[in-house]
A and B are shown apart, each in its own frame.
Chain A
Amino acid sequence: QVQLQESGPGLVKVSETLSLTCTVSGGSVRTETFFWTWIRQPPGKGLEWIGNIYYTGTTKYSPSLKSRVTISVDTAKNQFFLQLSSVTAADTAVYYCARGSQPKVWGQGTLVTVSS
């Protein structure tokens, strides 16, 4: 059964770049069947879709975050990545990675706090 695990710094400074990794186990990112997705949830608020990637590198991004987001994939390491640039306090959230363009299997999430 596929499992996803987010990892990365829990604290990022204002104006810097947030970088997270999602490691996939029990399945391969190099599959024609699924896209791989990032989603976030600010404390006490709802879910926000960030974007997704296909193993070929094809991406789709949230219109509201598109200018600051980069999602990439490393099929050899069975990982995909999120970079969010020029962060502010509003980017403080639990960040989830998930399998599927229609997210069906989720990681447990990782809290990233943006602080000055």
Chain B
Amino acid sequence: QSVLTQPPSASGTPGQRVSIFCSGSTSNIGSNYVYWYQQLPGTAPKVLIYRNDQRPSGVPERFSGSKSGTSASLAISGLRSEDEADYYCGAWDDSLSGHWVFGGGTKLTVL
């Protein structure tokens, strides 16, 4: 069972806006930055969002992140078929001398 909680699945149709949520606690999301990763089938994860809401160069503006209290969300607008992938949230956790934690992942299906 993951420290950060994500829904196992999400779906949307092309052009729609979809949000994926990540729930944590005061020791992780509540006090540290949240990162979001996209993992396309058979590939390594790639960072989509860092420091809660920052996009690395090359990541489309369709992807956005936000954080409030002990929860965070990733929004994808103008959904495209190539967005079908697994999405993971991650954050540093200050408990137990500090360690990184991931969410269990959300499989996004584009219908």
Q: Give A residues with C-beta under 8 Å from B.
A: 37, 46-49, 51-52, 60-63, 96, 101-109
Contacts and interface: CB of A to CB of B under 8 A. Distances in A.
B interface secondary structure, majority: strand
Contacts of A47: 37, 45, 88, 90, 102, 105
A48 B96 contact: no
Contact of B90 (A60, A62, A102, A105): A102
Q: Which of B37, B90, B99, B102 has the most CB of A within 10 A?
A: B99
A51 B2 CA distance: 16
Contacts of A61: 99
A108 B104 contact: no
A66 B1 CA distance: 18
Given A47-B88, A47-B105, A106 B44 contact: yes
B108 interface: no
Interface residues on B, range: 20 to 34
Nearest to B96: A63
B88 A62 contact: no
A86 B103 CA distance: 27
